[in-house]
Chain A
Amino acid sequence: MASIDATAAGSGVVNAPYRMCRFTGLKVDQAAETLIKVHAVTAVIFLALGGLMGLGVALTRWPAVQILPPEWFYLVLTGHGANVLLFWIIFFEMAVLFFASAILLGSRLAAPKVAWLGYILMLVGALMANYAVLRGDSTVMFTSYVPMQASHWFYLSLIVFAVGALISVMVFFATLVVAKNENTYDGSVPLVTFGAITAAIIAVFTLASGAIILIPTWLWSLGLITEIDSLMYKVVWWGMGHSSQQINVSAHVAIWYAIAAMVLGAKPLSEKVSRMAFLMYILFLQLASAHHLLAEPGMSASWKIVNTSYMMYLAVLGSMIHGLTVPGAIEAAQRRNGFTRGAFEWLTKAPWGNPAFSGMFLSLVMFGFIGGISGVILGTEQLNVLMHNTLYVPGHFHGTVVAGTTLAFMAMTWLVVPLIFRRDIIWPTLAKWQPYLFGIGAGGISLFMMGAGTLGVPRRHWDISLADAAHRAVEFPAAAYLMMGLNGLFAILAALGGLVFIVTVVASILAGPKLDGPDAKMVFPLHDASRQVSEYGSEGTLKLPGTIILVGIFFAAFVLYYFVNWKYLSELWLFN
């Protein structure tokens, strides 16, 4: 481990230059490292652009501010969705795939040139999409439902982006094969890699669905096809739109395990149980796509119920298992680290000042409590009608993809900068506060949008006062206006957290203290056993009083909230 740079004396297969990481002992393939850097930086740039647009949207929906005019509102909303949910998230995910394959398995990347081709296609697609949206003739919002028509550049851009992503996913699978053939690891892959495999598998289904629907839609926008059936579009589009969220879930769960391993030396409680939970995702999570069509009269009750009840609950079971085993693994590791007093010393003495840990833990808690519970409510056919197409829906998914995925990816970035860019965090104090700023902001916008949605406020609406409507059919209660104002305030907080993230990360990459000297130390240190992240092995204990209590609280909240919503629903029936 003493030498920093070395060249693999491979077993006669292919020689690829690599270095040994001084902090984790992992073998780092240089091609993979460069690709991780490029994907991470690109992701962060699209987050900056998309985040700014998100702030614009939130400040417009704050009735007292209403910063954008109506034409701009829908345009910016379209740009927001695409830049954050597609480009930020998926560029980052490709970096995660390269990390979980080449680096965690100590292998070379299968075909770096092909991976570069994937990257270039994704970049061209992302830029083209922004061009199409900013031109002003592709204001179709994230779902781009037909018969609304965008410019043909818009559909083409998404196709090009998806092809690029698919190519990178193939490089990931090929790297698994290379690692296996070149015996770079023994036995089963580490759990984090298994989570990445789950994400990659779901990505294949996602991108295939995307191709099936976007190619004909593109031809339609060129005038080569006369009509796309709108229900057919919705069914296939959601095979992509929903499944892509499940790539995110799998990827951020893998990151939770990775950060717990690297910062606390945590091992999975049980490899078997965690892998079975990921298997539930592989088999069932994508079926829940049907929850987006619960209000469609054209689909049968059997199709809806099989896909969203029976099967979705199996996938939810997978999430519940991770929700138990991630904090459980943290508790077990902390108890090994000596924090054994009472039920919660392991938690109170956790490294809350390390943004990788705090971001990861906030992501875990908010994903479960906000995104998870509201997702089950929306996915229940009967309850869905209460909130369908209201702001509750964006409230729910900001709980999953912002407070959950985005925060987890940010947390991971605080490790990527020192370990991959080999530059230390330049402003540790800012970094320390960043997860709290962004986390509280993201949690706030999720909850207040859910609150407004519960009061009936629609999503994607420029003006809830309906000031220039001929007939004001509805009058929203003052509480709804309050919710929108609070949403605006927390949006500012989240945007601030995003800004601190971007500025600190970029400044660290450009000018942070170099970490390649022989006795350089990280300001936010790793655990001595950080290498755990690349190993197979279970903790094998269930003596976890703190985790059991936390999980009990979660279930109580879940059950209560579930029944409150049934109560609301029963009140709509007005039997008396």
Chain B
Amino acid sequence: MAETPQKAPAGEAREKVPMMQQVLDNPFLLLFLGVTVPAVLYLIWGIMEVASVPVGQ
């Protein structure tokens, strides 16, 4: 990700890769986010709600 490009295309020097592009270029960071966000907001929160439903007598 952080590695600098080997060769600049003819004519123009390549700029530094923008932050957001570095994020998007890192599939494992995306994998982490894509699993954690739903795991916390949907699954864990959801399971806590189910667990807190009082048990009928």
Contact = CB atoms under 8 A, between A and B. Distances in A.
Nearest to A209: B43
Contacts of A311: 41
A205 B49 contact: no
A236 interface: yes
Interface string B41-57: 11101110111010000
A367 B47 CA distance: 32
B53 A298 contact: yes
A201 B34 contact: yes
Nearest to A231: B50
B49 A283 contact: no
B53 A236 contact: no
Nearest to B1: A180
A259 to B, nearest CB: 23
A284 B37 contact: yes
Interface residues of A, number: 42
Given A176-B27, A279-B24, A287-B42, A236 B47 contact: yes
B33 A173 contact: no
A214 interface: no
B34 A204 contact: yes
A235 B24 contact: no
Binding site of A, secondary structure by majority: helix, strand, loop or mixed? helix
Contacts of B39: 205
Contacts of B50: 229, 231-232, 235, 298-299
Per DSSP, are chain B's interface residues mostly helix, strand or loop, or mixed? helix
Contact of B38 (A186, A231, A286, A293): A286
A243 B28 CA distance: 19
Interface in A168-201: 173, 176, 186-189, 194, 197-198, 201
Interface in A273-311: 275-276, 279, 282-284, 286-287, 289-290, 293, 298-300, 303, 306-307, 311
B31 A204 contact: yes
A202 interface: yes
B10 interface: no
Interface residues of B, number: 26
B41 A202 contact: no
Contact of A188 (B25, B34, B37): B25
B2 interface: no
Contacts of B33: 282-283
A239 interface: yes
A205 B34 contact: yes
Nearest to A289: B42
A232 B47 contact: yes
Interface in B1-19: 5-6
A321 interface: no
A208 interface: yes
B46 A235 contact: yes
Contacts of A284: 37
B24 A290 contact: no
Contacts of A209: 43
Contacts of B25: 188-189
The winner among B21, B38, B39, B41 for most chain A CB atoms within 10 A is B38
A208 B24 CA distance: 23
Contacts of B24: 188, 194, 275, 279
Contact of A300 (B5, B43, B49): B49
Nearest to B25: A188
B43 A239 contact: yes
A147 to B, nearest CB: 15
B49 A188 contact: no
B34 A202 contact: yes
A229 B46 CA distance: 13
Given A176-B27, A298-B49, A303-B45, A239 B38 contact: yes
Contacts of A287: 37-38, 41-42
B30 A201 contact: yes
B47 to A, nearest CB: 6
Nearest to A284: B37
A162 to B, nearest CB: 15
Interface in A257-285: 272, 275-276, 279, 282-284
A187 B5 CA distance: 7
Contacts of B34: 198, 201-202, 204-205, 282-283, 286
A204 B50 CA distance: 24
Interface in A153-178: 173, 176
Contacts of A232: 47, 50-51
A352 B25 CA distance: 35
Given A176-B27, A197-B27, A299-B49, A289 B38 contact: yes
Most buried by A among B24, B41, B46: B46
A187 B45 CA distance: 38
Contacts of A187: 5
A540 to B, nearest CB: 16
A201 B38 CA distance: 12
B31 A173 contact: yes
A445 to B, nearest CB: 30
B31 A201 contact: yes
A112 B43 CA distance: 34
A272 B46 CA distance: 33
Contact of B42 (A176, A198, A286): A286
A203 B48 CA distance: 24
A31 to B, nearest CB: 21
A232 B50 CA distance: 6
A198 B35 CA distance: 11
A359 to B, nearest CB: 29
8 contacts: A186-B5, A201-B34, A205-B35, A208-B35, A229-B50, A289-B38, A299-B50, A307-B41
Given A204-B34, A205-B35, A235-B46, 4 more contacts: A188-B24, A201-B31, A205-B38, A236-B47
